Structure 1
Amino acid sequence: MRFHRNLVFATLDSLKLIFNEQKQADKVLKQTLKRDKRWGARDRGFIAETTYDIVRWQRLYAKAADVKGPYSREDLFRLFAVWAVHKGHTLPNWPQFEGTPVRRIRGKFDELKSQRVYRESIPDWLDAMGLEQLGGKWEKEIHALNEQAEVVLRANTLKTNKTKLKDALEDAEIHTKSSKVCPDALILEERTNVFSLPIFKEGWFEVQDISSQQVAPLLDVKPGMRVVDACAGAGGKTLHLAALMENKGQIIATDIYDFKLAECKRRAKRAGAHNVETRFIDSPKVIKKLYGTADRVLIDAPCSGLGVLRRNPDSKWKLSPQFMEEIQELQADILARYSRMVKDGGKLVYATCSILPAENGLQVEKFLASEAGAAFKKEEERTLWPSETGYDGFYMCLLTKSN
């Protein structure tokens, strides 16, 4: 591979913002890729994939490079050199790479592979927590979560169907395959930027992982129902619910972040989802007004995001034991309060994009044993393991409320 200075420098600039200033990787790359209009798809692909790869394997590469954060410009060049050696690339004849000990770096990688915290590039505390909660299963899962995620689309049945979408993508020379699990899913055979396609702007599809596409159907919504997506965020599952309800009935999308609801509203307009109403939770009254009014409630709870590390590898460096404790307390509080929105005879789905029992099944068991959960019964529970599915890690549980 021939390295171009402007692409390498753009990669290092991105890494500096992600590592030293704790910026979100996806937002940093979105800005970086706008820097030069002359960059083609291959150039942008190099910057994005190299940046994500170094972020994903930061601990391993930093140890092999013998550098520690916050990283100087020289440190970042050393990280890049280690990445290049590990990938089998020949380093360019630039002053920044003079004297790079290629053989020593290769030997260091062989030495580090014996320790899981380096082999899978994770913090010590996270490795200990994963091992404590999942035992021998942790090894397989964290390994699977370090693999690059596939790009999956969900055909928006309010505007098209999977067959028409597949044909339109073929016309754009984008090849896809179907999923046996999700009826409206198409999986890209090669990564490409689908957001620039006219059919995306016309609302024909959303990008949504196979695991995520299994949450809304579990809620068993019907046209005409009143449904609350209680932690709607930017509305990925809200839009799926709207399609399943054929635009009939009412979906109330709530969240504590107004900017996320603004994005949800924008996406709903593009998707032609006219039965979506957003409500900003600026006080407890917003939730209280909905008590006992919903046929269905989806609680896609805030979580560690461990199940989606392949998409957000930078998050493992931002998590902490304290955050894990706080998020579990928040999950329990949300489940206790938001479950009160379910009508007698209605249904609730509690979901997370985590694989840890403390955020998932154990939360549900505590809820069912509490006063708030006394009226509910567990109907179905699923944990989607990345090592088994090849997709994101997810948990979902369907609860019904007695009449």
Structure 2
Amino acid sequence: MRLHRNLCFATVDGLIKIFNEGEYADKVIQQLLKRDKRWGSRDRAFVAETTYDIVRWKRLYAKIAEVKEPFSRDDIWRMFAVWATLKGIKLPDWKYFENTPTRKIKGRFDELSKIRKYRESIPDWIDNLGEKELGKDIWTKEIHALNEQADVILRINTLKTTKEKLQAELFDLDIETEFIKNYPNALKLKERANVFQTEAFKNGLFEVQDASSQLVADFLDVKPGMRVVDTCAGAGGKALHLAALMENKGQVIAMDIYTNKLKELKRRAKRNGAHNIETRHIDSSKVIKKLYGNADRVLIDAPCSGLGVLRRNPDAKWKLEESYLEKIKENQQDILQQYSKIVKDGGQLVYATCSILPSENQEQVDKFLTSEHGKDFTFVKDIKILAHKSGYDGFYMALMERKS
């Protein structure tokens, strides 16, 4: 591979924004990809993948490069040189790469790779927490899997097409996909491609959604004609799936505290042809109380650490703080206590997170079920998804039923 100056400059500029200015990696990369209209798909792929790669391995590369935060521009170039050297890329004779000790870089990499927190490039506190909650063996395997690049998975919009039809349509565009066993609405891309530019996406034939995430709506066991409430809907990936499973019959009430996310959901619902979704902004407790005892099904896709989705959000491990994790656990329990009251007698509740930590998952469910209000519910079943076993995001979901 030959390094091109303008692509490398764009990557370095992006890394400074992510590391020093606290901007989100996905937003920064979106901006970078609009930087030069002359860039082809390979150029854009280089910028996106290299940026994510260096974000993912920040701690390891910074240690090898002997630089510390806040990083200067020269520091970022030194980390870039580490990345290129470890990838086996010949460094051009630019001033940024003068005196790069390539042999020392490889030696330091071999040495640091013996220590998990450097090998997997994670903060000490996350490494300690992961081992404490999952055990040394499982955590070692899991954090390794969470550092691998995520596959691109599509969820077929069954309101408009079938898996077979979409696969054929994408094949005509030289985008090859494959079915995934036990994931009825999923297609996996064989090679990464910009699917958002396709007419199939613009016409609402699919959404990009990880395979693990696709299991949540199925787990809720919805039927056409039901009243279903998605309490932490966000931009609506699971609400759209629920609408499709209900064949546009009945009602999906999608709620969130962020109006901008609900606006995005409305746009997506229109594109998907999902007509049974109603959005409601949670601006006070009254919005929740009006729904008490009214829903056949309630989904609580709770705010969480996001440790199960580090493959697609590698910057999250650098933004997450231990104190925030404790606050989010309090929030999870509060949400469970309040939003579960929306379930009617005989109705069902799913509590889900994209975390792999038992303290955010089954421990929260156990605490809820032994509480005053939780005693009205019966535990039915749960699923714990680990990335090193499934090959997809880490996830948790628990199904509970309100007693009649």
Pairwise TM-score range, normalised by the shorter structure: over 0.9
Indicate the residue corresponding to 2:148 in structure 1: 147
SS at match of 2:335: helix
CA distance in 1, matches of 2:282, 2:66: 47
Could you tell me which residue of structure 2 aligns to residue 179 of structure 1? 180
2:260 and 2:169 mapped to 1: Cα distance? 32
**TM-aligned CA deviation for residue 182 of structure 1:** 1.1
Mapping 1:357-372, distance limit 5 Å:
357-372=358-373
Whole-angstrom CA distance in 2 between matches of 1:71 and 1:271: 43
> Could you say which residue in structure 2 is the equivalent of 1:72?
72
User: In structure 2, the residue corresponding to 1:150 is in which secondary structure?
Assistant: coil
Equivalent in the alignment of 2:343:
342
Partner of 1:15: 15
What is the one-letter code of the residue matched to 2:128? A
| Inter-partner Cα distance in structure 2 for 1:150 and 1:181 | 17
Match of 1:164 in 2: 165
Shift of the alpha carbon at 1:85?
0.6
Alpha-carbon shift at residue 318 of structure 1 (Å)? 0.5
How far is 1:283 from its partner?
A: 0.6
Correspondence list, 1:267-286, <5 A: 267-286=268-287
What is the CA–CA distance in structure 1 between the aligned matches of 2:312 and 2:237, rounded to whole Å?
15
| DSSP-derived class of the 1:253 partner | strand
CA-CA distance at 1:184 after TM superposition: 1.2
Q: Aligned letter for 2:127?
A: D
TM-superposition CA deviations, 1:212-255 (whole Å, max 9, x none): 00000110100000000000000000000000000000000000
In 1: Cα distance, 2:142 partner to 2:370 partner:
29
Q: Give the structure 1 partner of residue 29 of structure 2.
A: 29
Q: Is 1:89 the equivalent of 2:89?
A: yes
Q: Deviations over 1:87-145 (max 9, x none)?
A: 11110110111111111111111110111110000000000101110012110100000
Deviation at 1:377, TM superposition (A): 0.8
Residue 324 (structure 2) aligns with: 323
1:188 is matched with 189
For residues 313-338 of structure 1, what are the alpha-carbon distances to aligned partners after superposition, in whole Å with 9 as ceiling and x for unaligned? Answer: 00000011101100000000000000
CA distance in structure 2 between the aligned counterparts of 1:300 and 1:236, rounded to whole angstroms: 11
Residue matched to 1:127: 127
Amino acid at match of 2:48: A
Residues 237-248 of structure 1: matches in 2 within 5 Å?
237-248=238-249
Shift in Å at residue 181 of structure 1? 1.5
Instruction: Please name the residue that 2:307 is paired with.
Output: 306
SS at match of 1:374: helix
Q: Deviations over 1:49-107 (max 9, x none)?
A: 00000000000000000001111110010010000011111101101111111111111
Counterpart of 1:4 in structure 2 is: 4
1:380: Cα distance to partner?
1.2
Distance 2:282 2:88 in 1: 51
SS in 2 for 1:191: coil
Query: Aligned-pair distance for 1:356?
Result: 0.1
Give the Cα separation in 1 of the matches to 2:14 and 2:327.
Answer: 30
1:251-290 aligned at under 5 Å gives the runs 251-290=252-291
Whole-angstrom CA distance in 1 between matches of 2:361 and 2:125:
19
AA at the equivalent of 1:190 = E
The DSSP-based 3-state class of the residue aligned with 2:401 is: strand
Letter in 2 for 1:290: L
- Name the amino acid aligned to 1:37: K
SS of residue in 1 equivalent to 2:224: coil
SS of residue in 1 equivalent to 2:197? coil
Q: How many corresponding residue pairs? A: 403
Compute the RMSD of aligned alpha carbons: 0.5
Task: For residues 266-292 of structure 1, give each alpha carbon's deviation from its aligned partner in whole angstroms, at most 9, with x where no partner exists.
Answer: 100000000000000001100011100
Give % identity: 67
In the alignment, the residues of structure 2 paired with residue 85 and residue 326 of structure 1 have an alpha-carbon distance, to the nearest angstrom, of: 41
Secondary structure, counterpart of 2:195 in structure 1 = coil
Q: State the match for 1:106 in structure 2.
A: 106
Residue identity matched to 2:304: C
SS in 1 for 2:326: helix
Tell me, yes or no, if structure 1 residue 333 matches structure 2 residue 327: no
Partner of residue 233, structure 1: 234
- Per-residue deviation, residues 329-373 of structure 1 (Å, max 9, x unmatched): 000000000000000000000000000000000000000000120
User: What SS does the aligned partner of 2:196 have?
Assistant: coil
Q: Distance in 2 between matches of 1:171 and 1:120?
A: 39
Specify the SS of the correspondent of 1:195: helix
CA–CA distance in structure 2, aligned partners of residues 232 and 370 of structure 1: 25
- Separation of aligned partners in 2, 1:191 and 1:321: 34
**CA–CA distance in structure 1, aligned partners of residues 355 and 296 of structure 2:** 26
* Counterparts of 2:69 and 2:162, CA distance in 1: 48
- Please show how residues 44-59 of structure 1 align to structure 2 within 5 Å: 44-59=44-59
Structure 2 gaps of 5+ residues are none
Task: Specify the code of the residue in structure 1 equivalent to 2:71.
Answer: Y
SS of alignment partner, residue 228 of structure 1? strand
Q: Distance in 2 between matches of 1:392 and 1:304?
A: 13
State the secondary structure of the residue aligned to 2:48. helix
Secondary structure of the corresponding residue to residue 345 of structure 1: strand
* 1:133-160 residue CA offsets vs partner (Å, 9 max, x unmatched): 0012110100000000000001100011
User: SS at 1:174's partner residue?
Assistant: coil
Residue of structure 1 equivalent to 2:214:
213
| CA distance in 2: counterparts of 1:35 and 1:282, whole angstroms | 38
Q: Distance in 2 between matches of 1:161 and 1:184?
A: 8
